[in-house]
Amino acid sequence: MVKINIPETDQKRVVIVGGGFAGLMLARKLSKNQKIQVVLIDKNNYHQFQPLFYQVAMAGLEPSSIIFPFRKIFQNKKNVFIRVTKVTEVDTKTKSLKTPLGICNYDELVLAIGATTNFFGNEEIAKNAIPMKSLPEALELRNAILGDYEKALSMTDYEQRQGFIDIVIVGGGPTGVEVAGALAEMKKYIIPKDFHELDSKEIDIWLVQSGKQLLPGMSEEAGQGALKYLTDLGVEVKLGTRVTAYDGEFATTKDGQTLRTRKLIWAAGIRGNPIAGIPVHCYEKGNRICVNEYNQVVGVEHVYAIGDIAIMKSEALPYGHPQVAQVAMQQAKHLSKNLFNQLKDRQLTPFKYKDLGSMATIGRNRAVVDLPNWKFKGFFAWVMWLVVHLFQILGVRNKLIVMLNWMVSYFTYDQSLRVIIKSDKKDGDNLN
């Protein structure tokens, strides 16, 4: 098999697989050292800002405003090489990767391949539900919502119409809560204007959470606050149960209830993306790769894992760190320092996570925030959520576009992005 065309130099080659929060942060840090050649491999040529996928799905933001091209980020970095492809296998003996483009050798390999949707082995749900772990999936959801509202306008049969306008969300974490809040606001402010022939009171939005609390990774106060906000917005929250089956028309819960919907949004969990060549014993529950305190893959030399794919267990954290962006970025920053230490033959330092807090928004003026020493909710929490997410978005243009969209939406109770964009190969007129 041919080698990928990357210059062979005296620089130490660090290959990073995955350009999410962890992989991109590491690449940016390492690119500052000319003694290191950085090779970034990703199936896309852009970074995706995942926390705002739901706003694209709800037609609140343009897709282009939450993505940023890798080559734009590194256009002045001559020691960074980007290859758009997938890694099919890792050969730890020869220190090489196999890809459809060819073989790529490495001196140090960093796996930052993130996570994908976890359907917990339910093939029927996996086939029919709509996940939201990528930009194409967010656009698919937007098309499904808007397309079904268009179709519902022509229906006279009440029960059939309900299947097109009612929505079930599975999972009460930040994604599920934020999607439910955005849908409730769309029902309240947008549907009466854009689809005035529909009675918005007919639209039911269900949020199904298997646990007894919303936002299980946050405080009880945050969970109760989110529950009150969603209830006030008209969302029907079902706690302590789970969806056990979904055939594309009806969702069945564990307690025997049947919910009619053509759109079941799955936000109930994630699992790691396994990669061939990494020994089976390296994987923990949820396909996470076990690493030591230096983010080195246990039992494998010259291979690291950071972000959602990695699990670093300890007495204090028997299940590893939470799979959130802050952990990913902090691990990336710390690993860059350790790789620099390697160049200077210095001792590596163990990773220590600093919890900066958690937050979730539930529509305008409503959010919950857990800081290490302070928990609050309401308008101030919502403003803080906006500011934090705005500053994390890459690119001045993207920041301005997102801020402008948010301002227009806030003052007009409207958005102007409700268009259905899909391939002509898909039959948009088929109601079955």
Q: Which residues are designated catalytic?
A: 178
Distances (CA, A) of 333 to 19, 22, 72, 328: 14, 9, 21, 9
- Chain centroid to CA 67: 13
DSSP string over 197-252: TS-GGG--EEEEESSSSSSTTS-HHHHHHHHHHHHHTT-EEEES--EEEE-SSEEE
CA-based R_g, the chain, Å: 23
Rounded CA-CA distance 318/321 in Å is: 9
In 3-state terms the chain splits into helix, strand, coil percentages (rounded to 5) of 35, 25, 40
User: Which residues 6+ apart lie within 8 Å of 406 measured at CB?
Assistant: 386
HSE (side-chain half, CA atoms, 13 Å) at 100: 6
Angle of CA points 145, 49, 219, to nearest 5°: 85
Which residues are paired to 46 by β-bridges?
A: 69
**What φ, ψ does residue 417 adopt, rounded to 5°?**
-115, 20
User: Which residues 6+ apart lie within 8 Å of 75 measured at CB?
Assistant: none
DSSP string over 339-361: HHHHHTTPPP---------EEEE
Rounded CA-CA distance 116/307 in Å is: 13
